[in-house]
Structure 1
Amino acid sequence: MNHANLLAIAPIVALAACASMPDAPRLAPSQERFWDALSSHCGNAYEGGLASSDERDADWSGKRMIAHWADCSDTRVAIAFHVEDAEAPGGWNRSRTWLVSRTADGLRLKHDHRHEDGSEDTVTQYGGDTLSSGTARIQDFPVDAFSIALFEREGLDASLTNVWRIEVDDAQAGGARFAYQLTRRNDPTRLFRVEFDASDPVAPPPPAWGW
């Protein structure tokens, strides 16, 4: 087949590929705006750190952290969470990736935890689904049944009432911020929160382990 014919059929192939892709589930208006804001950071990386002061997180205090929008599609955004760690290979723990997905019922947050060789950690793929439409900037993810069963199996009873939160501003917004937060319904004193300056991209780090 000559070059001209290849050029002629290329648009047809592209259209066929698009037609075969499933449509992304429709979301509530506030969640659509949240998704747009989250997706606006695709490819970017930002530096941040611990913003809460719970003594249970003392080991996290003062450590550099980077959130990297490492992989994006119409239905999923993968944000690698890199934490400075002198004991980890290369001085960074790259074991964590946050996965935010569109579902038929709203938004879902999962935690992908892996070892340096790429294998999955025993405690991984836990998270939750939105139970309300939230706001254009904030979405909460209460722990789901799969995660409760996982935590019970692994003896992590303190995590049975986890609620995770993601806050994000559009990349074009002045002073844009990104935050990840953990609280627990049965423990009003529990707060883990990290914040990132999403208005000032930094060089993307190496891939998270397993990615």
Structure 2
Amino acid sequence: MKIAPVAAAFASLALSLTLAACASGPSVSRGAEAPQDAFLARLNALCGQTFEGRVVTTDPADDDFRKSRLVMQVRDCAADEVGIPFAVGEDRSRRWIITRTDAGLRLKHDHRDPAGVIHGYHMYGGDTANAGTAGRQEFPVDRESIDQFIKGGAQVSTTNVWAMEVHPGRMFAYELRRPGGRFMRVEFDLTKPL
């Protein structure tokens, strides 16, 4: 009869240890960050900083960019959205907006003239099709942008895939790629904030 209280105590101890183990979960998954969360965190870590870049690809279509001073400024930062104005020489009409969605991340290109009036193609871009990595996210063109490109006569842009990379303490990259060989890549030196 005296064994029952001891057995009950052991059973209670075993149950407590099991519940504690379940509550804490495996240490590997606890605190593990999804690639897209890590990517946004890397962008947010650059908030308030400005960097100069250069075109590193050789497509003649990018000669104007190659001849201009390219500057990006990471600002408008929040946990779920980062805005990055991108200046090409004196042209400050471009801003990249990266936003968290229910399904992943979205990249949009906001184009406005100096007075803030929309000009040309506006708010085009795409959503991630997979998790990507903490360092690289790809954004295939979305349906809304395809419709905008077709309406504006830019059918060539209906297969665009944009990408961004963030390698802390080293480099940020912006890419445009499409089938048929179009490829533009701009790299910004994160070791030399302006």
User: If the TM-score is normalised by the length of the shorter chain, which range does it land in?
Assistant: 0.7 to 0.9
Which residue of 2 is the match for residue 142 of structure 1?
A: 140
The one-character-per-residue Cα deviations of 1:64-111 (angstroms, maximum 9, x if unpaired) are 111101211121100000111xxxxxxx11000000000100000000
Question: What are the residue-to-residue correspondences of 1:44-123 with 2, within 5 Å?
Answer: 44-84=49-89, 92-123=90-121
How high is the TM-score relative to the length of structure 2? 0.81
Structure 2 distance, partners of 1:199, 1:136, is 19
Structure 2 distance, partners of 1:121, 1:141, is 22
Question: What are the residue-to-residue correspondences of 1:1-211 with 2, within 5 Å?
Answer: 29-84=34-89, 92-170=90-168, 173=169, 176-184=170-178, 186-187=179-180, 189-202=181-194
Structure 2 distance, partners of 1:35, 1:73, is 9
Structure 2 distance, partners of 1:156, 1:112, is 17
Structure 2 distance, partners of 1:38, 1:195, is 15
Larger RCO of the pair (alpha carbons < 8 Å, separation 6+): 1
Structure 2 distance, partners of 1:144, 1:124, is 13
Q: Are the counterparts in 2 of residues 50 and 62 from structure 1 also a CA contact under 8 Å? A: no
Which residue of 2 is the match for residue 207 of structure 1?
A: none
Structure 1 distance, partners of 2:133, 2:167, is 11
What secondary structure is seen at the aligned counterpart in 2 of 1:123?
coil
Give 1:122 deviation, angstroms.
3.3
Number of equivalent positions: 162
Question: Counterpart amino acid of 1:194?
Answer: V
Give 1:146 deviation, angstroms.
0.4
Question: Counterpart amino acid of 2:175?
Answer: Q
Q: Are the counterparts in 2 of residues 50 and 63 from structure 1 also a CA contact under 8 Å? A: no
The one-character-per-residue Cα deviations of 1:107-142 (angstroms, maximum 9, x if unpaired) are 000000001211011310000000000011000000
Question: Counterpart amino acid of 1:54?
Answer: D
Give 1:49 deviation, angstroms.
1.4
Structure 2 distance, partners of 1:32, 1:197, is 23
Give 1:38 deviation, angstroms.
1.2
Q: Are the counterparts in 2 of residues 179 and 196 from structure 1 also a CA contact under 8 Å? A: yes
Give 1:199 deviation, angstroms.
1.8
The structure that has the greater radius of gyration is 2
Give identity over the alignment, percent.
Answer: 43
What secondary structure is seen at the aligned counterpart in 1 of 2:74?
strand
Superposed structure 1 runs of 4+ greater than 2 Å apart: none
